[in-house]
Amino acid sequence: MTLREYRRKRDFRRTPEPRGGRGAKTARGQRATRAPSGLSFVIQKHAASRLHYDFRLEMEGVLRSWAVPKGPSLDPAQRRLAAHVEDHPIEYGGFEGIIPRGEYGGGTVLLWDRGTWTPLGDPVASYRAGKLKFRLDGEKLRGGWTLVRMGGRAADGGKNWLLIKERDGDARPGGREIVDAKPKSVATGRSIEQIAKASDRVWHSKESGNGEAKRVKKPAVVPAAARRAALPRTFSPQLATLVAEAPDGDEWLHEIKLDGYRIVARLENGRARLLSRSGKDWTARLPTIARAVEKLRARSALLDGEVVALLPDGTSSFQALQNALSEGGEPELVYYVFDLVHLDGRSLAALAQEERKTALASLLGSSPPRPIRYSDHGVGHGAEFKRHACRLALEGIVSKRRDAPYHSGRGRDWLKTKCIHEQELVIGGFTAPSGARTGFGSLLLGVHDRDGHLRYAGHVGTGFTAASLAELRRKLEGLEQRETPFASPPREAYGRGVKWVKPELVAAVEFTEWTRDGQLRHPSFQGLREDKPAREVVREEAERMDEIEDDPKRERPKTKRAPRAKAPSASAESVGGARLTHPDRVLYPDAGITKRALAEYYVAVADRMLPHVAGRPLTIVRCPEGQTGECFYQKHAGDSAPAALRRIPIGEEGKAATYLALDGVDGLVGLVQMSALEIHVWGAHDDDVERPDFLVFDLDPDPAVAWNDVVAGAKHVRDRLEELGLRSFVKTTGGKGLHVCVPIRRRLEWDAVKAFSKSLAESIVADAPERWTANPLKARRKGRIFLDYLRNGRGATFIAPYSSRARAGAPVSMPVAWEELGADVRADSFTVANVAARLARTKRDPWADVTKVRQSVTDAMVRELAKR
């Protein structure tokens, strides 16, 4: 066979498709006439003018090909039309990428399945006779199949065939279509939409020396959502906030924290400028990196990254970086790029972090110009990511919200967690050398306080080389002054021949800990930080994640603060057997609901609420000034919780953290006493926190989704659960959506339960991707319902049944019966003010059976989801 027709249809100067070798030999150099086993097959999903699947079998040295409009089916009753098309070269079996528009077959190609096929009989003779039987051994398709040529008018000149699955153990009669259940690439795991948006790996027909196909770059693709904007002339990079522990949720991505110089690369009209964090031009100091940036496939760009020196074990070293720059070793440095803020006339700053990284990966390609490297990342499991980084002796990790835009300056969308203590400090003086030492004895260091005063923080005398001692001494002599720069200089310094200097140099120092009086213990000098202004140096204090994660300021738009009500009397009274101070304080100004009214509400619903809340670890939203004031999440117990709330220890990061739990109505009132407007609970009880007993699927709709569609979606989730043998219950959230809840026996641990809920959510999304998404990025929710399964991870919480919400009108999360759902029952229909009337009117508790249901997530259910 020849490839004449294949080549006639294509201009290989324009299309990246392979031209193919000469001859009709197989890849093994043998004629395919005897039915050899292990010949290759491939199926490529092809979004051309019409979506179809290209089914290709290796035969007679080429890939014999059929276009299957609906794709293969595992149901033997489904006879799929397969239009015979021209033969393709064997090399085409590795093609995944984009055929340019205007070319034959222009569109996106996804490698949907691949493997080997075994003809049943002589393949060439069977093919010519119009009936080819064979077995497939692929990643998605297996077992017996038949390709049969149609006859009569339907044959279309012999072009039309039928692809039919044989009735064997691999058949799935009446089941879900395999192309819908498993839509992603077997090569890269991407969807066809992701390849269309982000593919920079367009296949090229030329071969490398080892016989593998090379990939060539296509022009960089600018995300469609990026807005037009001029390339900024000055730029301030985004900075990370130090935290004590890494966030664990799937809404975070994590990168290795690099120990180098922060560098912003500005590319304009083919010329690159490299700018330090403070805006200094470092282009002349890093010419190799500048030339590499100029080779990128962009007219203009703004990249954010870090220049580092790598040790033989792959870790970055600030001291090695200093040595390389001082000794002319710049070509050995590496520029790790982790963000793309501007590209070809469009600003990417407003896009989600994950979208910017996708665009960055597309720009850099699989082989970026040396010494540029893409800073890769992982998603979720922050604590585990950090532990692995620390085991490898890395500096730490940087965690970034996947859906957050780029903001200059320090904020809470980027967090850093360190494996070692490191601090930048301002050099305020130095002592004379002693013994055989040259240069100086030690450096006197300080940090700025909140008022801008430089406070003494200790001295460092280790970590220097002979060269660094000499170089530093020269720099210090040019900065000497008579007066001390410290607001509170150390007394002992005056007797040690100290020379004071202008506070302009910044030292990077490693140390073991801070002492109680604010001094460094066991410090070691790492180098000078020329990229950071001395005036910005302050002591870094690690913030707690419970003050950052789920920040209410970030989740809710800022509301106008209502005029402060007249201060109530400091009286106290007893409600539900618990003491309540300031009972007349208004918590919901628009609804006129006071602390007393909220406490009385909880007393009224306690009988129905407590079975679902008592004994579960809590997270609360506290609003001391009421719903219109500042609110914050509290996860750990703290010192201010009333005695009615029980303290429980739970392991976190190898140590015990103290959580709150309640057992009775006095605990509910105790939360009101703390001005808690929201009560969130774990899906486990405190007597076995490692084994959940409650699953929650949170339906969070985009504003464009009609309420009736949300109701229908909840019922669809219910039906899918029932197919697996699980009974579910529903409640409003008091916000925008609904919770479908599943009580289970305490048999599995968190990872297994979360994996099950993720599989179910992804299965539902795959059924109707135009209606659903399981991706937490808000940009992916447009016109869809976000099916949030992340509530089912260890430490995650959900709004408790009957809990109030910190929203206008005092809505509550209300259990309802499935038959109640409709236009009249919406997410925020029930409030603190109207629930009592509902309870009086409807005596039947729709959740009465929740604590009675005995059901488990089983291996059979997991296998059933895997089939879909």
Give yes or no: residues 707 and 821 share one domain. yes
Highest mean pLDDT among 95-104, 542-551, 577-586: 577-586
The reply to whether 742 falls in a domain is yes
Give yes or no: residues 256 and 325 share one domain. yes
Give yes or no: residues 530 and 555 share one domain. no
Give yes or no: residues 710 and 573 share one domain. no
Give yes or no: residues 451 and 511 share one domain. yes
Least confident of 30-39, 150-159, 290-299, 524-533: 30-39
657 token code pair = 């953290």
Provide the pLDDT confidence category of residue 409 given band limits of 50, 70 and 90. confident
Integer Cα distance of 755 and 170 in angstroms: 25
Q: Is the pLDDT of residue 69 over 80?
A: yes
For 315-332, the pLDDT digits (tens) are: 787 778 887 887 777 777
Highest mean pLDDT among 61-70, 422-431, 737-746, 830-839: 737-746
pLDDT at 639: 66
pLDDT at 850: 94
Provide the pLDDT confidence category of residue 555 given band limits of 50, 70 and 90. very low
Tally of domains within the chain: 5
The reply to whether 341 falls in a domain is yes
pLDDT at 303: 96
For 136-145, the pLDDT digits (tens) are: 988 899 999 9
pLDDT at 14: 66
The residue type of 837 is A
Which of 395, 418, 441 delimits the end of a domain? 418
The reply to whether 729 falls in a domain is yes
Pairing mode of beta strands 372-374, 334-343: parallel
Give yes or no: residues 209 and 266 share one domain. no
Q: How far is residue 138 CA from its own chain's centroid?
A: 31
The reply to whether 361 falls in a domain is yes
Give yes or no: residues 593 and 702 share one domain. no
Average pLDDT of the residues in 325-340: 85
Kindly tell me the burial class for residue 142, based on how many C-beta atoms sit within 10 Å of its own C-beta (0-12, 13-18, 19 or more).
middle
Long-range CB contacts for residues 774-782, cutoff 8 Å, separation at least 24: 776/250, 776/251, 776/402, 776/403, 777/352, 777/354, 777/355, 777/402, 777/403, 778/352, 778/403, 779/225, 779/351, 779/352, 779/355, 779/403, 781/700, 781/701, 781/702, 782/702, 782/704
pLDDT at 198: 53
pLDDT at 33: 31
Least confident of 205-214, 805-814, 828-837: 205-214
Provide the pLDDT confidence category of residue 700 given band limits of 50, 70 and 90. very high
Average pLDDT of the residues in 163-180: 88
Which of 512, 536, 560 delimits the end of a domain? 536
pLDDT at 693: 96
Least confident of 143-152, 294-303, 487-496: 487-496
Average pLDDT of the residues in 68-88: 91
640 token code pair = 């201010």
Provide the pLDDT confidence category of residue 494 given band limits of 50, 70 and 90. low
Give yes or no: residues 528 and 558 share one domain. no
pLDDT at 642: 86
For 742-773, the pLDDT digits (tens) are: 999 999 999 999 999 999 999 999 989 999 99
Domain of 246: which CATH number?
3.30.470.30
> Phi/psi of residue 53, each to 5°?
-120, 125
Average pLDDT, whole number, for the chain? 84
pLDDT at 557: 35
Catalytic residues: 257
Residue with the larger pLDDT of the pair 583 and 365: 583
- Give the SS3 label for residue 740: strand
Domain of 506: which CATH number?
2.40.50.140
Integer Cα distance of 36 and 28 in angstroms: 11
Give yes or no: residues 414 and 428 share one domain. no
With pLDDT > 90 as the criterion, what percentage of the chain qualifies?
43
Q: What size, in residues, is the chain?
A: 868
Domain range for 722 = 694-867
Q: Count other C-beta atoms under 10 Å from residue 698's C-beta.
A: 22
The reply to whether 687 falls in a domain is no
Cβ pair 758, 774 in contact under 8 A: yes
pLDDT at 224: 79
Domain of 752: which CATH number?
3.90.920.10
pTM over 0.95: no
Least confident of 347-356, 609-618, 835-844: 835-844
Which of 367, 386, 418 delimits the end of a domain? 418
pLDDT at 254: 92
Average pLDDT of the residues in 387-407: 84
pLDDT at 561: 36
For 215-227, the pLDDT digits (tens) are: 444 456 677 778 8
Give yes or no: residues 556 and 522 share one domain. no
For residue 751, what is the DSSP state? H
- C-alpha distances out from residue 270 to 282, 335, 356, 543, 591, Å: 17, 18, 22, 42, 61
Give yes or no: residues 257 and 339 share one domain. yes
The reply to whether 689 falls in a domain is no
Give yes or no: residues 507 and 611 share one domain. no
pLDDT at 565: 36
Q: Is the pLDDT of residue 153 over 60?
A: yes
Provide the pLDDT confidence category of residue 24 given band limits of 50, 70 and 90. very low
The reply to whether 541 falls in a domain is no
The reply to whether 327 falls in a domain is yes
